[in-house]
Amino acid sequence: MNYLGLIGLFGLIGLTGLLNKVHPSQAGGPIRLLGLLGFLGLAGFWVPSLGACGAFGALGVWKHQNSKIARLAYVGWLGVVGLIQTIGVYL
C-alpha cells in the first residue's frame, strides 16, 4: 500500500500544462486546471490511497500542443487505482 502515495506524485506532471501555455485559440483550456489536482498527490505522504487520486492531475496535459507533453497524460489514469482504493478503505 506504500506505493499508492508515490503514484500520486505523477499528478505533478499536470503542472507542466500550466507552465507551458497553449495558444488561446486551442480548445481545452479549462482542462488544464486539472493540473491543480496534482497537489492532491502530495497528500499521499500521509494518506496513500487519497494521494494516488492526485494522479488525475496529469490529465491536465491531455491534448496539449506539444506532443511530448501530451503523451504524459496517460499516466493520469493511474488515479483510478487510488480512487478504487480510497472507496474500498473509507466506505
58 closest CA partner among 1, 24, 3, 14: 14
Tell me: the pLDDT tens digits for 10-24? 888 888 877 877 777
* Range of the structural domain that residue 29 is part of: 3-90
Q: Is the pLDDT of residue 27 over 80?
A: no
pLDDT at 49: 79
Rounded to whole angstroms, the maximal C-alpha distance in the chain is 43
pTM for the model stands at 0.76
Taking residues 83-87, what's their average pLDDT? Answer: 86
* Total tally of structural domains belonging to the chain: 1
pLDDT, one tens digit per residue, over 41-81 is 888 788 887 778 888 888 888 888 888 888 888 988 888 88
How many CB atoms neighbour CB 59 within 10 A? Answer: 24
* pLDDT (0 to 100) of residue 1: 57
